[in-house]
Structure 1
Amino acid sequence: MSQRKMLQSSTGALLLLLPWLGGLVLGEISSEFSQCLDFFYDRTPPQGITAAGYQPICQRYRNQYHFASLYHRQHRAPLYSAYVLSPADGKRPKSTWMYEPQLVFSRASPEMKAFNITMDQNVIESQAVFQDYKNSSFTKGHLNPSMHQKTKQNREATFTLTNIVPQKAGSNSGPWSRLESEVLKKFQTFCNGSMYVITGGMPYKSEPHWINNRVSVPEYMWSAYCCPSYSANRTNSMRPFFPTYAAVGRNDKNSDEEIVPVNIKARASIRGYDVRRMSLETLEAILRQRLTMPISLFQGQCQN
């Protein structure tokens, strides 16, 4: 066997072992979020996520941390992204899609990198790549949306596939987009300080669904925010929305209606991609049942 083939074989074996070697991983890819705790309320990531295969990523771009993601290596998709909401000061940037070098090799650069025309096989094995979404029926759904980020650099950093799940267009540009706008408006109108947001994808209950036999498709999208300092207590109608609120959105028109009912009066193009608003407690109960983990999203339920 040639030296090159031996190296490729060894690297491939290492990639298969990496999910169980969290203690050996260095840099921004590590067994915890120690470099980017500021993106979580009370500097505390969600608790109770006990399954194997999840990889914390401090999302770094141009020598700056912008948000955090919990990535599942085998599913090649994030469970969630966590960020501090800040209204955009400009337009959505041109999409330059990036990947995470340290998912390939722990000692690689901690900076996300733009995809090349031809990708190294080790990158393809380690994570989702741009080609996975080509000729699929799914869009690239941001968990941390670019328009929830202030500067152009902040917004550019959201265009990494470690912040993306396969999302149907009817959801991405329809009810889910409206939810993102609602959250932004509530922040601008009622929050007196920071708003901490965690958004993720919920896998299918039975067996995983995939695109390209590689990337896990979520059955539902979910999101929750924490705004510990707010003025909504002066408005009775806004009290249920603070300090926390949450939502679950359908990503499959054929899912049953146990979690999110279908609005039969909605336009045909978006019917079946409905979003159900709910309390944080209700969302956590759904996640605990679906993920079979005692998940808690915000430290102390976001209570000062």
Structure 2
Amino acid sequence: MLKFATGALILLSWFGGPVHGEISPGFKNCLEFFYENIIPEGITGEGICQVYKNKYRFSTLYDKTRRIPFYSAYILNATTGSRPDTPWKIEPQLASLTAGKEMKNQKKNQKTDQNVRESQAVDEDYKNSGYTRGHLAPSSHQNTEDDRRATFTLTNIVPQMKGSNSGPWSNLEQEMLKRFENCTSKMYVITGAMPYKSEEHKIKDRVHIPEYMWTAYCCESFDPKADQNRFPTYAAVGRNDQNSPEDIVKKDPNNKGYDVKEMSLESLEQILKERLKLPGISLFKNKCKK
């Protein structure tokens, strides 16, 4: 199971059940995607080092019981190309402990191995589901074509409504790229999914649907002329359900219920603490301060 930093407490799944931790050896080989090589304090379980063409691209904490990631962590870079046309990928390591650590293309028109289907989401889950494949680590935040292709693994994807994915949430991702222009150090990003408060929502009775998306970034050094309120950290929460209550994010009629609310890192951490029923959480070491 996923454990807290002390190892003494058990983290319950953010959908209310246990999270099993046999999905990978952990983040030990890809700590570079976390600020100061420190994973979020309070959650220290196994994760996936996302490998493509024999190179680590980003890190993901995955719940194979619910078949979605909890979060993906990456270093934001200005893109030098367009969104690639690439097959969706799967993680063999989730299906077998003896499998390789590199993501593989899911073969078209071929029945997916049952062990793979049991351990993770597959492309068929999303077809005709009413949901888009929502990236946590978006391809638009990656520099090289191979880095962008690597984000098209289904372990980096959650069911996201089109109105969010191509609307306010997409606008937020573009705004983060603009802020990156004022960042004079690396910009570390952690983007995740937040569960419904009580009832579980699933597509095809397999893949769990988040009620909200959330993200936070850390830029240790930045242009002194930049907006000081948005550095060194800032965060946001976006609605993924038009009918959700407005306790976290208020609705604006112009956004059709898919509003995004920007906030301080501390505010996001408090929301996650309450929604995930955690005793405490810290996404970046020392709040991203030297």
Q: Which residue number in structure 1 is paired with residue 3 of structure 2?
A: none
Q: Return the TM-score normalized by structure 2.
A: 0.90
Q: Is the contact between residue 194 and residue 228 of structure 1 (CA under 8 Å) also seen in structure 2? A: yes
Query: Does the residue aligned with 2:47 lie in a helix, a strand or coil?
Result: strand
- Of 76, 81, 97, the residue aligned with 2:67 is 76
Query: Does the residue aligned with 1:288 lie in a helix, a strand or coil?
Result: helix
Instruction: After TM superposition, give the deviation of residue 20 of structure 1 in Å.
Output: 4.6
Instruction: After TM superposition, give the deviation of residue 260 of structure 1 in Å.
Output: 0.2
Q: Is the contact between residue 27 and residue 46 of structure 2 (CA under 8 Å) also seen in structure 1? A: no
Q: CA RMSD in A?
A: 1.5
Q: Which residue number in structure 2 is paired with residue 128 of structure 1?
A: 121
Q: Which amino acid in structure 1 is aligned with residue 238 of structure 2?
A: G
Instruction: After TM superposition, give the deviation of residue 234 of structure 1 in Å.
Output: 2.8
Shift >4 Å, 4+ stretches: none
Q: Deviations over 1:257-294 (max 9, x none)?
A: 01000012x1xxx4100000000000000000000112
Alignment of 1:1-304 (within 5 A): 20=20, 22=22, 29-30=24-25, 32-49=26-43, 55-116=46-107, 117-188=110-181, 190-231=182-223, 233-235=224-226, 238-264=227-253, 266=254, 270-293=255-278, 294-304=280-290
Q: Deviations over 1:116-138 (max 9, x none)?
A: 22211111111000000011110
State the distance in 1 between where 2:118 and 2:63 align. Answer: 13
Q: Deviations over 1:23-65 (max 9, x none)?
A: xx7xxx21x3100000000000111127xxx640000000000
State the distance in 2 between where 1:145 and 1:165 align. Answer: 12
Question: Which has the larger Rg?
Answer: 1
Aligned positions, number: 270
Instruction: After TM superposition, give the deviation of residue 72 of structure 1 in Å.
Output: 0.7
State the distance in 2 between where 1:79 and 1:36 align. Answer: 17
Q: Is the contact between residue 55 and residue 72 of structure 1 (CA under 8 Å) also seen in structure 2? A: no
Q: Is the contact between residue 141 and residue 167 of structure 1 (CA under 8 Å) also seen in structure 2? A: yes
Q: Which amino acid in structure 2 is aligned with residue 58 of structure 1?
A: C
Higher normalized helix content (fraction of residues): 1
Instruction: Note closer, same or farther for the CA distance 1:55–1:134 as it changes in structure 2 (3 Å cut).
Output: farther
Identity of aligned residues (%): 55
Query: Does the residue aligned with 2:275 lie in a helix, a strand or coil?
Result: helix
Q: Is the contact between residue 191 and residue 229 of structure 1 (CA under 8 Å) also seen in structure 2? A: yes
Q: Which amino acid in structure 2 is aligned with residue 203 of structure 1?
A: P
State the distance in 2 between where 1:75 and 1:95 align. Answer: 25
Q: Is the contact between residue 20 and residue 63 of structure 2 (CA under 8 Å) also seen in structure 1? A: no
> What stretches of structure 1 of length at least 5 have no aligned partner?
1-18
State the distance in 2 between where 1:95 and 1:272 align. Answer: 31
> What stretches of structure 2 of length at least 5 have no aligned partner?
1-18
Q: Return the TM-score normalized by structure 1.
A: 0.86
State the distance in 1 between where 2:30 and 2:21 align. Answer: 21
Query: Does the residue aligned with 2:237 lie in a helix, a strand or coil?
Result: strand
Instruction: After TM superposition, give the deviation of residue 106 of structure 1 in Å.
Output: 1.2
